[in-house]
A and B are shown apart, each in its own frame.
Chain A
Amino acid sequence: MTVLDDVRRGMIPAHIYNDEDIFRLERDRVFGRSWQFVAHESEIPSPGDYVVRRVLDDSFIVVRDEQGDVRVLFNMCLHRGMQVCRAEIGNASHFRCPYHGWSYRNDGRLVGLPFYRDAYGGESGFRRAGQTLLPAPSLDIYNGLIFVSLDADAPPLRDYLGDFAFYLDYYTRQSDAGIELRGPQRWRIKANWKIGAENFAGDMYHTPHTHTSVVEIGLFREPKAEKRKDGSTYWAGNGGGTTYKLPPGTFDERLRYVGYPDEMIARMKETWSAAQQKVIGENGFMISAASLFPNLSFVHNWPKVADSDDVLPFMSLRLWQPVSADETEVLSWFAVDKQAPEQFKLLSYKAYLMCFGSSGMFEQDDVENWVSMTSTAAGQMARRLRLNSRMGLLADDTTVTEALGSDEFAGPGTAYVGYAEHNQRALLHRWADYLEQPIAAADPVDIGARP
């Protein structure tokens, strides 16, 4: 497909951001195969706790069963296909289908069929034993992050993450206890899902312009948004992100600089590897936004939350859940270390609300751009335009600046200082690789039939 070749050259056919045919392919080949984040274990701490989440059009119940195991069950009754759970959060020992009353234990097992003997003739007519709501074809967990894949042969999640796991720990494992995730705020934007994922993966270039207003009102200690060009971007495994360069100092001093209290810094030291500490302590880079292919993003920033010079860090996870070629549901969570002091949690939550999420001041300007890009990408003229996404590359494909050496950046993957679109290209490269490969039809399951 020539579109994919263009994408690989860093010349992006503008219509890929609003194209029904491309979206159909993405639905099957990207979302039918990649690992998809559905929830964090902290959202369902006790037996029976559940949340209902989608992978595109497919609704899943993410539930902790009575044994304490996490199950992800396709939310479709085995009888006629009614949704067995229509709430989005709650606690239940059983799910009873509202249509004819079949009931399922919270591990998915079918336990009740009204008039089983009279209507079905019992086991000899309908094999009830061993029937369960369809489990997600693949399920895996990393740092409490629950992922599913619609591909039964998906590689283990850890392999899929690859070296991105190194960076994922900064967001989701600041102590042994891990994070608690709150939310999500959910809202729909008329923007293509890829735009947000690309932006969070590597777009440091937009910060000084798009977010001028947030700097002007004094929300940040850094007086100038141009500071961003001193930061680095990295791509590792199946994801990549951006960092800020911090003023000179030790590991402790730099974490204090972004507002972490000493007790949290002490736990980070116990939890993070030497290399993970070195990126901050010696190389001076602090993680900021990031994306894991295809549509999960992260953010870490440190605004002022009161009229003083003190800043306070917050973290957010967000999913760019596609609705259609030109619409995305954003699910945005607030994340904080479970062991953080209560006062820190409170202020970090405030910092999050001011900056990101449905009302966040950064998010407001981001989304305005993305909505506008998406609607403009729908027409015929967009089909004649290949956007230049080659920032950081010379005509002969060598890079404008050299990749950082291991003495300058201790993390895995490839990192560069300054503005470039290496990560956006890396993300779309993956996308092209997925779009190129057809998926095999999965084997259907007969419910209750005799073998």
Chain B
Amino acid sequence: MTARSGASLPFDDQRHLLAHRWLVDETYLLDAQNYAAWLELLAEDVRYLMPVRATTALGAGFDTAPGMAHFDEDKYSLSRRVARFATEHAWTEDPPSRLRHHLSNVRTFATDRADELLVDSAVLLFRSRGDVREPALVSYGRQDLLRSTSDGWLLALRSITVDESVLRIQNLAVFL
């Protein structure tokens, strides 16, 4: 896997500005549930991973449930998820949720490849459904690998570190 080289890039570095802008633009697509456009930003070999966090003793050496994830997706499975939302029968999002991905703490690292950047960020997702339900919050960190291609910069890897072991959200019919 691509490794980060050196400290995080200065905030006025062109590569950081590019990556930050990419993430912000993506956030608006996700809030609007414009998943067809979002799918276009994913590399053919994309991996989209969200391990299950588990509470373990200090020094246990691991803090995820072994061999299990909330998401462990490739382009095919993501495309099926997106296709499902495009049907008229994905009831869980009809009526749609009101979503806001609050993005922060963005930092960018160069890698040993000129065409790849590693980007860390933190996100607080707010999701509201209907009028009587409590809204749901999901707090998580991301490690993204962005790759420059002839189609522009694409997401090649997203690794999501969720901050709860028991999610307080009815389902993950959202992208993080």
| Interface residue ranges, A against B (CB under 8 Å) | 86-90, 92, 182-191, 210, 212-214, 216-217, 219, 305-307, 329, 333-334, 349-350, 353-354, 357-359, 361, 363-365, 367-369, 371, 375
A214 to B54, CA, bound (A): 30
Whose C-beta in chain B lies nearest to the C-beta of A372? B130
Of B66, B134, B167, B168, the most chain A CB neighbours within 10 A belong to B167
Sorted nearest first, the 10 A-B pairs with minimum C-beta distance are: A187-B167, A359-B172, A212-B89, A368-B92, A213-B89, A213-B87, A364-B92, A364-B173, A183-B68, A186-B166
* A86 touching B55, Cβ below 8 Å: yes
A188 to B83, CA, bound (A): 26
Whose C-beta in chain A lies nearest to the C-beta of B64? A89
* B56 touching A368, Cβ below 8 Å: no
A88 to B53, CA, bound (A): 10
Residues on B with C-beta less than 8 A from A88 are 54-56, 165
* A212 touching B87, Cβ below 8 Å: yes
A254 to B50, CA, bound (A): 34
Cβ distance B51 to chain A, nearest Cβ, rounded Å: 10
* B166 touching A353, Cβ below 8 Å: no
Cβ distance B159 to chain A, nearest Cβ, rounded Å: 15
> Interface residues of B, CB < 8 Å — how many?
40
Whose C-beta in chain B lies nearest to the C-beta of A210? B91
Q: Does B72 contact A (CB under 8 A)?
A: yes
Residues on B with C-beta less than 8 A from A353 are 69-73, 77
A333 to B81, CA, bound (A): 21
Residues on A with C-beta less than 8 A from B173 are 359, 364
* B56 touching A89, Cβ below 8 Å: yes
Chain A contact residues, majority secondary structure:
mixed
A300 to B72, CA, bound (A): 19
* B83 touching A368, Cβ below 8 Å: no
* B171 touching A87, Cβ below 8 Å: no
Proximity bits, B155-176, A CB within 8 Å = 1, else 0: 0000000000111111111000
A363 to B72, CA, bound (A): 16
Whose C-beta in chain A lies nearest to the C-beta of B61? A90
Q: Does B60 contact A (CB under 8 A)?
A: yes
Residues on B with C-beta less than 8 A from A90 are 56-57, 60
* B166 touching A349, Cβ below 8 Å: no
* B87 touching A357, Cβ below 8 Å: no
